[in-house]
């Protein structure tokens, strides 16, 4: 079997790692693989966004399964291009990817399907948006509707901040096209979890719940990042709660997408807020989350490949279930000094030989092999995942292993999973 992975970050390294365990004899290819992926696959010298060229390459190289990591190629229609060539591919069509690529579309779909989410209105004219902010008052949340690399949501504690946000989006076009339309929504309160379902468009196979840590600093302080760590499972997400998420969020959303003529096949990611009034959707993503994938896949004992291949080939997931391992996984991201602001690439990375074991994985994100050296090539450099029988051991091991990796300016959080730790300590 010949498998192509599109993307080259920590999420894609984790996908490659898991699929190789599921199919040790398969041949693997990846687009411009990072320094960790390069040892595990054949490189393809095309960018993940080079949709047309990738479809041609996959056809010429008789690829049996392509797995798309990032949202941008999905929103650009990579799946439609592969399917037009009869190539099995895991991911949603361009139309279905709107669930992430257009927050306005996602909100309207949820409203129509009765899926619980924050009250909202959509605007493309500045005066209307300003009037709505004044009418609703603060706190309020302003979001660029389009793809904005995770930076398009502004939680505004004051009306003045909300007015600034709509002006920077609709007036100054700070997010370019992505912010020509904005969603203004009610501020919700509660703890957030990430829930992934592999879906054939009608049936869901739920994966273990996770929680990520978006802020740069300990205690969830400082600016937002792409994610500084994650853990799974989240004890708040009881089997009962996951089942409720499946029936009240995932199933009605998939039914609405299908009714809209855009059935969603792939990985549907719901960011859920556990509010006093129950589960509410913060956002949907049309792909695996990063860094959640670096804990969700190590927790998966059964085959991921079987699920992805079934969906890519148009099969049904009816009655399928996954087997999770016991215990917990925690990942700590090691970032470049200065991130999420300016930082330098090209720093030599040292990972002790004895660090990686069956229960300790170093997933690469922004790394590159330069001659004999592994060097940094991005803001988030590595994700260090520990598996253990308990959350607290996994968290300690992930943090301690992250501290043993060195490069100039290396930074990592010390408190990944602090909410879980506090919950467990309260129980004890
Ligand atoms: P999004 O890009 O929609 O995922 O939003 C990014 C982050 O902003 C979320 O992870 C939340 O922490 C926060 N956020 C988004 N929408 C809301 C909301 N309606 N109420 C409170 N916080 C929100
Ligand atoms: N972890 C958040 C995301 O992947 O969008």
Q: How far is CA 286 from CA 102, 213, 294, in A?
A: 11, 20, 17
Nearest CA-CA partner of 92 in 248, 253, 200, 12: 200
Chain centroid to Cα 222, Å, comes to 21
Is the distance from the beta carbon of residue 155 to the nearest atom of ligand 1 less than 6 Å? yes
Read off the pTM.
0.96
In this structure, which residue's CA is closest to atom 4 in ligand 2?
A: 289
Nearest CA-CA partner of 244 in 277, 293, 289, 285: 277
What six digits make up the tokens of 32? 């411009």
The per-residue pLDDT for 240 is 96
Q: Which ligand is nearest to the CA of 212?
A: 2
In this structure, which residue's CA is closest to atom 5 in ligand 2?
A: 289
Distance 83 CA to ligand 2 centre (A): 26
Domain(s) labelled CATH 3.90.600.10 in the chain stretch across 328-427
Instruction: Indicate the CATH number of 328-427 among 3.40.50.620, 3.10.290.10, 3.40.50.300, 3.90.600.10.
Output: 3.90.600.10
Taking the CA of residue 288 as reference, the ligand 2 atom at the shortest distance is: 4
Pairwise CA distance, residues 172 & 208, whole Å: 41
Pairwise CA distance, residues 61 & 68, whole Å: 17
The per-residue pLDDT for 175 is 84
The per-residue pLDDT for 151 is 79
Domain(s) labelled CATH 3.40.50.20 in the chain stretch across 2-91
What is the dotted CATH code of the domain comprising 191-312? 3.30.470.20
The per-residue pLDDT for 9 is 97
What is the mean pLDDT for each group of 10 consecutive residues in the chain (428 residues)? 98 98 98 97 96 97 98 97 98 98 96 97 92 93 87 90 90 82 95 97 97 95 93 96 97 97 98 96 97 98 98 97 97 97 97 96 97 96 98 98 98 97 90
Distance 78 CA to ligand 2 centre (A): 20
The per-residue pLDDT for 172 is 74
Q: How far is CA 110 from CA 103, 106, 174, 255, 296, in A?
A: 10, 6, 27, 11, 26
Taking the CA of residue 289 as reference, the ligand 2 atom at the shortest distance is: 4
The per-residue pLDDT for 178 is 85
Distance 290 CA to ligand 2 centre (A): 5
φ, ψ at 71 (rounded to 5°):
-75, -30
Query: Could you tell which of 71, 285, 331 is best to mutate to test the pocket of ligand 2, judged by most ligand atoms within 8 Å of the CB?
Result: 285
Taking the CA of residue 150 as reference, the ligand 1 atom at the shortest distance is: 2
Distance 253 CA to ligand 1 centre (A): 19
φ, ψ at 213 (rounded to 5°):
-130, 100
Homologous superfamily (CATH) for 125-180: ATP-grasp fold, A domain (3.30.1490.20)
Residue 228's contacts (CB-CB under 8 Å, 6 or more residues apart) are 213, 214, 215, 216, 291, 332, 333, 335, 380, 412, 413, 416
Distance 24 CA to ligand 1 centre (A): 39
The per-residue pLDDT for 33 is 98
Q: Which helix (H) or strand (E) holds 404?
A: helix 391-404
Distance 333 CA to ligand 2 centre (A): 13
Domain(s) labelled CATH 3.30.470.20 in the chain stretch across 191-312
The per-residue pLDDT for 152 is 86
Q: CATH topology for 2-91?
A: Rossmann fold (3.40.50)
φ, ψ at 31 (rounded to 5°):
-75, 125
Taking the CA of residue 150 as reference, the ligand 2 atom at the shortest distance is: 5
Contact 44, 80 (CB under 8 A): no
3-class secondary structure, 257: helix
The per-residue pLDDT for 57 is 98
């Amino acid at each position: 079997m010949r498998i192509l992975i599109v993307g080259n970050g920590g999420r894609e390294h984790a996908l490659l790692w898991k699929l190789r365990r599921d199919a040790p004899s398969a041949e693997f290819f990846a687009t411009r693989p990072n320094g960790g992926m390069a040892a595990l696959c054949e490189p393809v010298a095309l960018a993940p966004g080079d949709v047309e060229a990738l479809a041609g390459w996959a056809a010429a190289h008789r690829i049996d399964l392509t797995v798309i990591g990032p949202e941008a190629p999905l929103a650009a229609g990579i799946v439609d291009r592969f399917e037009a060539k009869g190539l099995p591919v895991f991911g949603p069509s361009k139309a279905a990817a709107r669930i992430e690529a257009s927050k306005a579309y996602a909100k309207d779909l949820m409203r129509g399907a009765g899926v619980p989410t924050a009250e909202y209105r959509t605007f493309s004219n500045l005066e209307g948006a300003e009037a709505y902010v004044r009418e609703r008052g603060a706190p309020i949340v302003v979001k660029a509707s389009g793809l904005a690399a995770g930076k398009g949501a502004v939680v505004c504690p004051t009306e003045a901040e909300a007015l600034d946000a709509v002006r920077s989006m609709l007036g100054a076009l700070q997010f370019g096209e992505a912010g020509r339309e904005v969603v203004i929504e009610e501020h919700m309160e509660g703890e957030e979890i990430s829930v992934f379902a592999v879906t054939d468009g009608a049936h869901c196979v739920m994966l273990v719940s996770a929680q990520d840590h978006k802020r740069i600093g300990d205690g969830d302080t400082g600016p937002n990042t792409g994610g500084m760590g994650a853990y799974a499972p989240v004890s708040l997400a009881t089997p009962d709660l996951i089942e409720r998420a499946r029936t009240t969020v995932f199933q009605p959303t998939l039914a609405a997408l299908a009714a809209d003529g855009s059935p969603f096949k792939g990985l549907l990611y719901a960011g859920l807020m556990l509010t006093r009034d129950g589960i509410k959707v913060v956002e949907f993503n049309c792909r695996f989350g990063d860094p959640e994938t670096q804990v969700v896949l190590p927790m998966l004992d059964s085959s991921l490949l079987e699920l992805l291949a079934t969906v890519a080939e148009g099969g049904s997931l009816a009655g399928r279930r996954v087997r999770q391992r016991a215990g917990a996984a925690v990942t700590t991201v090691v970032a470049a000094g200065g991130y999420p602001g300016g930082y330098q690439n090209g720093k030599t990375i040292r990972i002790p030989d004895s660090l990686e074991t069956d229960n300790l994985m170093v997933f690469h994100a922004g790394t590159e092999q330069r001659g004999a050296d592994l060097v940094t090539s991005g803001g988030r450099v590595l994700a260090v995942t520990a598996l253990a029988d308990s959350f607290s051991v996994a968290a300690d091991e992930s943090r301690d292993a992250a501290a043993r990796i060195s490069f100039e300016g290396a930074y990592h959080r010390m408190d990944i999973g602090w909410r879980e730790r506090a919950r467990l300590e309260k129980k004890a």
